[in-house]
Amino acid sequence: MPSTKEPDCAGAILEAFAARDTVLTDTPVIQPAAPFLDMTGEALRRRIFMTESETGESLCLRPEFTIPVCRHHIAENAGTPQRYAYCGMVFRQARDDGAAEFFQAGIEDLGAVDFAAADARAIADAASILVECLPDTEFAVTLGDQSIFEAVVGALGLPGGWQKRLIQAFGNHARLSALMETLARPQPVAGLDRRVAAYLADGDEAGLVGHIAATMDATGYSTNASRSPDEIARRLKEKLALSVTSLDADALSALRAFLALEVPLSEARDALGAFAEKFELDIAGAIAVFARRIEALEATGTDIAAITYRAAFGRPLDYYTGLVFEIAEKGPRAALLAGGGRYDRLLTLLGAEGHIPAVGFSLWLDRIERAGETP
């Protein structure tokens, strides 16, 4: 059984948070499940501890802090910019090291308008706090950027549905590889009713909608509890379009070359520029935003040559939109100690009235404790 005692490093981390102009906040352990099921990645969704209220509402034990902190900010109608800090227990089905409940701490930076500076501050703060806790430990910092990947996918000219699929798979190597294989060798949709197939082949959307509606009426399939005939027809058309889409050899080569990029962050801008020039892709705007972050990070005194930029690197949470990063302990244990990124759409999806840009990071306190022990 893992210990529920607050780790010894918690006090030092809370002091570090206070020194960084944060507001310490807490959120209930019991949370509504819907936001986590809708907005976190599959890797986390399948590990959530679910329960139910007396009224039938789906609830869960808090599996992470970012969504609860953002919901708290919205509920308080708080102004921005605002930096929240937190420290408390999270609960997930058996982690790779066997723990199902453990302490997590972090900072959520909401509403900062200088994105490059806020991103740089998140990376620098996470790294410096780890150095304060573990002064004799060496760290490996890995950085990726979903917005660069999105720019590459967009420049390849894929249909919107395919772009969405690839972007959702960013950071999941196996899933992304499978999707690229499908793009290389598209397969026709199998198992379609012949009448549905005929309507799709003829482009007769009205006839397809009418056929679906008649079938739903005949079978008693209530539209109140399912998708409407129009929505089903749209999804069938999209599925057919996706099934016949393919990328030519040059475009697939470009996508694979991008995903293979791995260089020191100090060389990343030039590497991305050379990639874009080689494959004639217009991603200059995304590279410029990326470069401003590098400059802001260098201005914090961070050694950018010691950070690895990996183009295929993502973190397994669906709400990230740009920067993603992780910090691990170097050595045989290679424990992941911190991770974070930018999530500019999350607060709007959670109900915020206006757009609130955001970036943050989390620290795993139990792993930090073990990293400080002699191997």
**Arithmetic mean of pLDDT, 249-257:** 89
Tokens encoding 276: 């874009």
Question: Residue range 277-303: average pLDDT?
Answer: 97
DSSP class per residue in 354-371: S---EEEEEEEHHHHHHH
Assign 111 a pLDDT band (cuts: 50, 70, 90). Answer: very high
- Given a cut of 80, whether residue 179 has pLDDT beyond it is yes
Structural domains in the chain, sorted by start: 9-151+265-371 (3.30.930.10), 194-243 (no CATH)
- Please say whether the beta carbons of 115 and 286 come within 8 A: no
- pLDDT digits 0-9 by tens, 130-148: 999 999 999 999 999 999 9
Residues making up the annotated binding site are: 64-66, 92, 104, 108, 315, 319-320
Tell me the Ramachandran region of residue 157: left when phi exceeds 0, alpha when psi lies from -120 to 50, beta otherwise: left
Confidence of residue 2 (pLDDT cuts 50, 70, 90): very low
Which distant-in-sequence residues (6+ apart) come within 8 Å of 174 by Cβ? Answer: none
DSSP per position, 195-249: HHHHHHHHT-HHHHHHHHHHHHHHHT--GGGS--HHHHHHHHHHHHHHHT----H
The backbone torsions φ and ψ at residue 231, rounded to the nearest 5 degrees and listed phi first, read -70, -40
Q: What percent of the chain has pLDDT over 90?
A: 61
DSSP state of 359: E
pLDDT at 57: 93
Q: How many CB atoms lie within 10 A of CB 224?
A: 5
Q: Which residue has the higher pLDDT, 214 or 155?
A: 155
Question: What is d(CA 193, CA 1) in angstroms, rounded to the nearest whole number?
Answer: 53
Mean pLDDT over 293-312 rounds to 97
User: If DSSP codes are grouped into helix, strand and coil, which group holds residue 108?
Assistant: strand
Predicted confidence band at 1 (pLDDT cuts at 50, 70, 90)? very low
Measured in residues, the chain has a length of 375
Binding residues for L-histidine: 64-66, 92, 104, 108, 315, 319-320
